Structure 1
Amino acid sequence: MASQVNPPRGMRDFLPADKARRERVLGVIRDTYRAHGFDEIETPVMEDSSRLHAGLGGDNEKLAFGILKRGLTHDDLQAATEPLDLTDLGLRFDLTVPLARFYATHRADLPPVFRAIQIGAVWRAERPQKGRFRQFMQCDIDIIGDAGPLAEIELITATSAALDALGLDRYTIRINDRRILTGLLSHWNVPADQHERALIAIDKLDKIGAEGVAAELAELGIATDGLAAALATEGWNLLDAAPEWLDLDAYRALLDLRAAVPGSELIFDATLVRGMGYYTGTIFEIAHPDLGYSLGGGGRYDGMIGRFLGSDVPATGFSLGFERLVDLVHLDDSSQPDAVALLHDAAAAPAALGRLKAELVGQGHRVRLERKPKNVKTTLDRLAAEGFTHFAFVTDGATAADLELRALG
């Protein structure tokens, strides 16, 4: 029986053309963020298991992949009361927890306000489905050390610039503040120990509607008078007749933020939750009319780094949903260097082919040597699909000046 050759469920192989396209999209994002003053860092794909399960990652902690301790014995297995007892490391489920640990480790070597880029794979034990994978790429920017609104302004401006550079249009950024959500829950007399459960219910609004949210809150014993009106609150016209639950300081701060980034389409949404429990202030999420899910999001998480340092450090971050974004954008290929395929026969001298290839590469081309097949058309079709733009037949002793480059496709 043949062995299984597919990748693990929820993980993917990428063919060369797919990989090249992903790298081009990542290059646009990376270059845009660097232009906005952010510096790229790298952290290990693994962190201590205790850190990944310290209450910083919300529901994602339940999806963390654990790594078994080395040298486990039968006695260790018998003594364990839960699976985590057998692990000492785990794969990172996001880039925020590693960043908090990174900053705590290297704070003395970093500027007072640190602007970080992180681009890398993360792993979650999801149930695989369309658009949801167990290994996927995240693109994060974070600002650590700035407690004022400038951090949010920079993050939203840089993220909008990256989306614009990718040619994405018609997107909006929904925005809210955790203080507004807290005020909403307090207005409904929700006990503090039930806030997170109530927010989880509100976060399902787009899936189960206002009636479904009301039913879930009622199960928690929460009165929902005025719920429908609150859940329908959207836009920037609340100051004239502000609802009782609205935190006016937080709302005015969002108005100021909107005025500070006029090039971005910001929409106030009082029901925007963002699922991570570590958010403490402004939260935001990218929406697109063609999609039923977000393209990224983030917010302020001032309390996280203090868990490592013992003193709070302000922090705000914005993450792009790369796997969803990469299938949505279409980059112009015209600026890419010519990719040339040289088709040669078996008699061609290897040393001469090597010199010819080096000469063309030196001129700025991407070059591949291909043995000339009997069926040239099939090979040319494959090369065109792989992104090659030109080809030439190579004769013995040919130089770059002798080649007749022909267009592919």
Structure 2
Amino acid sequence: MRDFLPAEKARRERVLAVIRERYRAHGFDEIETPVMEDYARLHAGIGGDNEKLAFNVLKRGLDAEAVRAAADDPAALSDLGLRYDLTVPLARFYATHRAELPSVFRSVQIAPVWRAERPQKGRYRQFVQCDIDVIGDATPRAEAELLAATLDTLDALGLDGATVRINDRRALDAMLDVFGFAPAERPGVLITIDKLDKIGPDGVEDELRERGVTPSAVDAFAEFLRRPVTLEYNPYGERQIRKALPAGVPDEVIAHLVGLGEALAAVRGSDPIPGPPLVFDPFLVRGMGYYTGTIFELAHPDVGYSLGGGGRYDGMIGRFLGQDVPAVGFSIGFERIVDLVTAATDGEASAVVVVHDREVPASELLAHKAALVASGARVRLEQRTKNLRSLLDRAAADGYTAFATLAAGAEPGSLELRPLD
């Protein structure tokens, strides 16, 4: 968990303002949910490994004896916890307020979440997520809206070259069925497949054999991984999807994926070739247990890790509402993208430091400041020091772009602004 100095805080807020503005332009409405949710909801088996990283809140009023008695039962010690993502709170929010929301609800939620991570570069125990979700639409149009809004936002931030890897959990299940993996083996098999980029086909095959899963299925999968593959100019389309999957994947799953690409091409105004920046990846897994269909991850050529992702979770809201509602969401990893945003969003139109002599009366200082503020500038007053260079360097580090010097008797509006280099 981190502190942010004024310049960094201002920079983060400017990036967040761009994200909010672009999402709002695409018809998403911002909501807010509490930072805590019921313990049972956060540990309902739908959050994957994130449930193990949740910060739980000790019940009020427990004495030492009660704590000792419940030491092996976390549910007896805690009734609340800090949210570890924004999707579980959204599902609860929708189930609570459904009657007050449109039939197809497009939400934005931008807020901190907490996980008991082992701190390292890019991973923090408190971090901001930027989520957009479409609830109530089961068609590929919903995914296309999410992707169009996200790619438009990245464009507005100056992050050119991003691509979206796409797969479908139903395609993964069908593929494992075709190869002959038993249903009970598949969660572990998917964990291994998710490592393909890191350990390669040989490493995946070796780990699957170490798991002791069906040998003939491993043989079939290893053969599939090593089949000859020709590169495609357009990495996303029906031909490319069918070519990347074994025979036997249901046509309706492929049709859903193809429809997503066609819808996004229409939204983005792109020709079929080269088309939107989509790449079909038959081995994309994503670990969240609540995904039921399409899944996607956001990649950028400047970094070797994902900048965000999401997918369809049609079964989650039904756990709270009593009936299934189609839902799909996409989350931008704010902490990861904020460091990639270029200086184009860093500066303000006018941020001025007025360096004044000690003798300048307060009335004159405030009159000059008011004139600059009225012109649209952000203004800081600083009394002149012996080391003016150090004062100006500090102002520049805090995001100020210009300065002026002020002596007693100057007329308001007469200050000469000079750039802070």
Structure 1 Cα separation of the partners of residues 94 and 106 of structure 2: 11
TM-score, length of structure 2 as denominator length: 0.90
Structure 1 Cα separation of the partners of residues 130 and 223 of structure 2: 36
Q: 1:22 to 1:242 in 2, by over 3 A?
A: closer
| Root-mean-square deviation over aligned CA pairs | 2.0
Q: What is the match of residue 252 of structure 1?
A: 255
Residue of structure 2 aligned with 1:387, choices 399, 405, 411? 399
Q: What is the match of residue 136 of structure 1?
A: 127
Q: Does 1:343 align with 2:347?
A: no
Q: 1:106 to 1:52 in 2, by over 3 A?
A: same
Confirm or deny: 8 A CA contact 1:48 1:90 kept in the other structure: yes
Structure with a larger share of its residues in helix:
2
Residue of structure 2 aligned with 1:221, choices 210, 213, 223? 213
Q: 1:290 to 1:334 in 2, by over 3 A?
A: closer
Q: What is the match of residue 111 of structure 2?
A: 120
Q: Secondary structure at the match of 2:329?
A: strand
Offset at 1:238? 4.9
Query: CA offsets, 1:14-44, max 9 Å, x none?
Result: 1211111111111111111000000111111
Query: CA offsets, 1:241-289, max 9 Å, x none?
Result: 9622433321222122112222421111100011101001111111123
Q: What is the match of residue 329 of structure 2?
A: 317
Equivalent residue runs for 1:63-78 within 5 Å: 63-78=53-68
Counterpart residue identity of residue 394, structure 1? L
Q: What is the match of residue 212 of structure 1?
A: 203
Offset at 1:165? 0.9
Q: Does 1:202 align with 2:193?
A: yes
Structure 1 Cα separation of the partners of residues 223 and 394 of structure 2: 57
Query: CA offsets, 1:16-75, max 9 Å, x none?
Result: 111111111111111110000001111111111111101121110000011111111123
Q: 1:75 to 1:36 in 2, by over 3 A?
A: same
Confirm or deny: 8 A CA contact 2:111 2:128 kept in the other structure: yes
Structure 2 Cα separation of the partners of residues 231 and 151 of structure 1: 32
Structure 2 Cα separation of the partners of residues 247 and 320 of structure 1: 30
Q: What is the match of residue 189 of structure 1?
A: 180
Count of equivalent residues: 399
Q: 1:242 to 1:381 in 2, by over 3 A?
A: closer
Q: What is the match of residue 39 of structure 2?
A: 49
Confirm or deny: 8 A CA contact 2:178 2:246 kept in the other structure: no
Q: 1:239 to 1:272 in 2, by over 3 A?
A: closer
Q: What is the match of residue 22 of structure 1?
A: 12
Confirm or deny: 8 A CA contact 2:171 2:253 kept in the other structure: yes
Structure 2 Cα separation of the partners of residues 399 and 47 of structure 1: 58
Structure 1 Cα separation of the partners of residues 245 and 328 of structure 2: 28
- Mean Cα displacement is larger for which, 32-41 or 197-206? 197-206
Equivalent residue runs for 1:10-409 within 5 Å: 11-80=1-70, 81-218=72-209, 219-222=211-214, 223-228=217-222, 230-231=224-225, 235=235, 236=237, 237-239=240-242, 243-262=246-265, 263=268, 264-333=276-345, 336-409=348-421
Counterpart residue identity of residue 127, structure 1? R
Counterpart residue identity of residue 67, structure 1? V
Identity among equivalent positions (%) equals 60
TM-score, length of structure 1 as denominator length: 0.92
Confirm or deny: 8 A CA contact 2:157 2:345 kept in the other structure: no
Structure 2 Cα separation of the partners of residues 254 and 150 of structure 1: 11
Q: Secondary structure at the match of 1:313?
A: coil
Offset at 1:397? 4.3
Query: CA offsets, 1:338-395, max 9 Å, x none?
Result: 1111112333222332232223212111000111111111111221222212111122
Gapped regions of structure 1 (runs ≥ 5): 1-10
Q: Secondary structure at the match of 2:219?
A: coil
Counterpart residue identity of residue 120, structure 2? Q
Structure 1 Cα separation of the partners of residues 346 and 169 of structure 2: 44
Offset at 1:101? 0.7
Confirm or deny: 8 A CA contact 1:166 1:331 kept in the other structure: no
Counterpart residue identity of residue 376, structure 1? L
Q: Secondary structure at the match of 1:355?
A: helix
